[in-house]
Chain A
């Protein structure tokens, strides 16, 4: 139980384009999902908290107009990186909360 999936697992895009990442809780309903970013050899950095049916709460320093989060259902949250630039290249990981937080497998984004 407590399985979280992410799609795609990796994506390469050109600078200036937008990329959408999906996060799904497969066997439970998650009122709250979280989005993290991790650069090489660094720890997880929380970007935003996503609540079903309401606006996401962004951490300080995270641009909400650049990282669009939609939590349309209890099993799906999406992160859209708009007008991506090479500095957005990173490992993006979502988690869904049941009794604890369970992480998806991550999406590796490379912006060329």
Chain B
């Protein structure tokens, strides 16, 4: 079982729709959860971080965390073509800054016109 699992996609959604990206993790001790966006040929860009159960909203993005189910998701409202990218889920066992992240393989999102 992979430590962090994501559906590789591609996930195709029409412009203006809600894109729902999902991630599961195996380590129950995980404390910090992150979503990164990576455009082709570029490095990852941090979109959201979430540390406690529930929802966290930032603009068009909402991260959802359920530690009991070991599940974290990212919702993108009003999807735009510029949202087309690979979205990486990452988890961290500690809340401190010095510990390494474990990444999923990413979900490729395509927003169609």
Q: Which residues of A contact B (CB under 8 A)?
A: 31-32, 34, 42-44, 46, 49, 51, 91, 93, 97-106
Contact = CB atoms under 8 A, between A and B. Distances in A.
Contacts of A32: 97-98
Nearest to B6: A43
B100 A93 contact: no
Contact of B98 (A51, A100, A103, A104): A51
17 contacts: A32-B97, A32-B98, A34-B101, A43-B105, A43-B106, A44-B103, A46-B101, A49-B98, A91-B41, A91-B43, A99-B49, A100-B46, A100-B97, A101-B34, A101-B46, A103-B36, A105-B42
Contacts, number: 48
Contact of A98 (B41, B44, B97): B97
Most chain A CB neighbours (cut-off 10 Å) among B43, B44, B101: B43
Contacts of B104: 43
Chain B's interface: helix, strand, loop or mixed, by majority? loop
A103 B103 contact: no
Contacts of B49: 99-100
Nearest to A34: B100
A49 B34 CA distance: 19
B97 A43 contact: no
Nearest to A30: B97
A43 B107 CA distance: 10
B98 A43 contact: no
Given A43-B106, A44-B88, A103 B100 contact: no
Contacts of B100: 34, 46, 49
